[in-house]
């Protein structure tokens, strides 16, 4: 990460400014700074890479079929938004001058906003990522199948039910061929992954795992035996979640998902669109005639909603809206979640400035 950007600078950008300082610090560690030469393309219309792009220095043009639709200049008000982040991209971005941008994994930003706004998670609660020299644990966890499948509404329960276990060098944590009983996260220490084969019964080395790595989910998800052995190389500390809790928390809470094509019937019956993103996101691009109550304020604004009205809840992806739907359902509301989020909605159903 360059010295060009610090947490104070990062907090000027939206919706990142909604994150608490601990989580914003983690986002800061994950961003990628890039120098772009004048005339080079940053992304093109139709691109589907889930990456949020922000302008730090210089200026860029947003291009449509007829030419320049809009120019963004670093430091001006509209340059602090993620640029045309709804996928697939509806415009092409080209550097007008030499410029500096930073990019973030869109999934990471969405997860952090959801966790932050549900009040269910902070980095410090996890006990790692504390500046000990290996701070990319968040991106590794987001890449595991297990964490992709856990509903946001269950994240808090995950960390409440996890058990910390001190371990010693040489201790076998998982033995190949045994039934799986736990899912593990390495809070501190290093492990060796080995697999025995007929020609090499003592096992061959497959990998070394370190702080922030996870293991053990494959056998739990597939209900099969362990396919490798895990042995501690150092003393350390693991967090583990039992198979029963793991499988329970992988299950989606009772939620109703609806495709854009099926919303016409609901709307004709009196349903109302409910956008649970931040106001800046809503003003940039939203579904026509939708209410906007950010997830973080939803509990406080419940009295403004009609319990007799069905609500079709949406966000960019479905992550924040599923958390909101779960919260509303618990309080007696009838809700549906827009499958695929705003990206799945045709442009003629939307209003706002979707270019920034």
- Write the pLDDT tens digit of every residue in 186-207: 888 999 999 887 777 777 888 8
Top pLDDT among 26 and 157 is at 26
Tokens 């996870």: give the residue: 214
Burial of 197: CB neighbours in 10 Å, binned 0-12, 13-18, 19+: exposed
> Is residue 263 pLDDT above 80, yes or no?
yes
Give the pTM: 0.66
Using 50, 70 and 90 to split pLDDT, how confident is the model at 353?
Answer: low
Q: Which helix (H) or strand (E) is 323 found in, with range?
A: helix 319-330
> Is residue 124 pLDDT above 50, yes or no?
no
> Is residue 126 pLDDT above 60, yes or no?
no
Percent of the chain with pLDDT over 90: 42
Top pLDDT among 142 and 201 is at 201
> Is 83:72 a contact under the CB 8 Å cutoff?
yes
| Spatial CA neighbour of 108 closest among 295, 296, 316 | 316
- The first and second tokens of residue 319, run together, are 């992550």
The predicted pLDDT at position 162 comes to 82
The predicted pLDDT at position 130 comes to 40
- Cα Dmax for the chain: 68
Using 50, 70 and 90 to split pLDDT, how confident is the model at 2?
Answer: very low
Specify the 3-state DSSP secondary structure of 310.
coil
Q: Where are the domains of the chain?
A: 7-106, 124-150+152-250, 257-351
The predicted pLDDT at position 143 comes to 54
| Spatial CA neighbour of 287 closest among 322, 310, 311, 303 | 311
Tokens 């706002």: give the residue: 352
What span, in angstroms and rounded, lies between the C-alpha atoms of 76 and 205? 53
> Is residue 223 pLDDT above 90, yes or no?
no
> Is residue 121 pLDDT above 50, yes or no?
no
> Is 79:40 a contact under the CB 8 Å cutoff?
no
| 347 to 25, 154, 354: CA distances (angstroms) | 35, 33, 9
Q: What is the pLDDT of residues 32-55, one digit of tens each?
A: 999 999 999 999 999 988 899 999
The predicted pLDDT at position 120 comes to 47
> Is 102:56 a contact under the CB 8 Å cutoff?
yes
> Is 78:72 a contact under the CB 8 Å cutoff?
yes
Q: What is the pLDDT of residues 229-260, one digit of tens each?
A: 999 999 999 989 898 888 777 666 667 899 99
> Is 225:148 a contact under the CB 8 Å cutoff?
no
Average pLDDT, the chain: 84
Q: Which helix (H) or strand (E) is 184 found in, with range?
A: strand 182-188
Burial of 66: CB neighbours in 10 Å, binned 0-12, 13-18, 19+: exposed
The predicted pLDDT at position 133 comes to 37
| Domain 124-150+152-250 listed as CATH 2.60.120.10 | yes
Domains 124-150+152-250 and 257-351 fall in the same CATH topology: no
| 120 to 111, 113, 117, 248: CA distances (angstroms) | 11, 11, 8, 18
- The first and second tokens of residue 178, run together, are 């045994």
| Sign of the dihedral defined by the CA atoms of residues 274, 278, 280, 285, in that order | negative
What span, in angstroms and rounded, lies between the C-alpha atoms of 87 and 285? 12
Fold annotation for 7-106: Jelly Rolls (2.60.120)
Upstream peptide bond of 19 is cis (omega within 30 degrees of 0): no
The predicted pLDDT at position 214 comes to 80
Fold annotation for 257-351: Oxidized Rhodanese; domain 1 (3.40.250)
| Spatial CA neighbour of 257 closest among 339, 200, 191 | 339
Using 50, 70 and 90 to split pLDDT, how confident is the model at 108?
Answer: confident
The predicted pLDDT at position 250 comes to 66
Using 50, 70 and 90 to split pLDDT, how confident is the model at 156?
Answer: low
Using 50, 70 and 90 to split pLDDT, how confident is the model at 99?
Answer: very high
The predicted pLDDT at position 272 comes to 98
């Amino acid at each position: 990460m360059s010295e060009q950007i610090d947490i104070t600078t990062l907090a000027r950008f939206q919706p990142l400014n909604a994150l608490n300082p601990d989580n914003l610090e983690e986002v800061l560690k994950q961003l990628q700074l890039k120098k772009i030469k004048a005339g080079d393309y940053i992304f093109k219309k139709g691109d589907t890479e889930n990456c949020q792009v922000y302008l730090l220095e210089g200026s860029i043009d947003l291009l449509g079929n007829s030419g320049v639709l809009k120019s963004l200049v670093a430091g001006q008000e509209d340059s602090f938004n993620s640029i045309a982040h709804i996928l697939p991209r509806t415009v092409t971005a080209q550097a007008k001058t030499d410029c500096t941008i930073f990019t973030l994994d869109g999934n990471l930003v969405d997860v952090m906003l959801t966790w932050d706004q549900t009040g269910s998670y902070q980095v410090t609660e996890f006990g790692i990522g504390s500046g000990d020299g290996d701070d990319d644990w968040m991106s590794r966890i987001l890449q595991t199948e297990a964490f992709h499948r856990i509903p946001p509404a269950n994240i808090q329960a995950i960390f409440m039910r996890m058990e910390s276990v001190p371990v010693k060098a040489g201790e076998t944590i998982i033995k190949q061929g045994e039934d799986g009983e736990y899912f593990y996260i390495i809070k501190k220490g290093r492990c060796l992954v080995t697999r025995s084969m007929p020609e090499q019964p003592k096992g061959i080395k497959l990998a070394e795992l370190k702080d922030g790595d996870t293991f053990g989910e494959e056998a739990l998800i597939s209900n099969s035996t362990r396919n490798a052995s895990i042995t501690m190389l150092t003393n350390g500390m693991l967090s583990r979640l039992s198979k029963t809790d793991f499988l329970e928390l992988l299950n989606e809470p009772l939620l109703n998902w609806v495709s854009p094509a099926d919303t016409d019937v609901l709307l004709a019956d009196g349903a109302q669109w409910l956008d649970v993103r931040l106001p800046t996101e809503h003003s940039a691009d939203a579904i026509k005639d939708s209410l906007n109550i950010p997830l973080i304020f939803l509990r406080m604004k419940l009295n403004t909603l009609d319990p007799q009205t069905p609500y079709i809840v949406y966000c960019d992806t479905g992550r924040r809206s599923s958390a909101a739907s779960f919260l509303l359902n618990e309080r007696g509301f009838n809700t549906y979640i827009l499958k695929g989020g705003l990206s799945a909605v045709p442009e003629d159903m939307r209003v706002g400035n979707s270019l920034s």
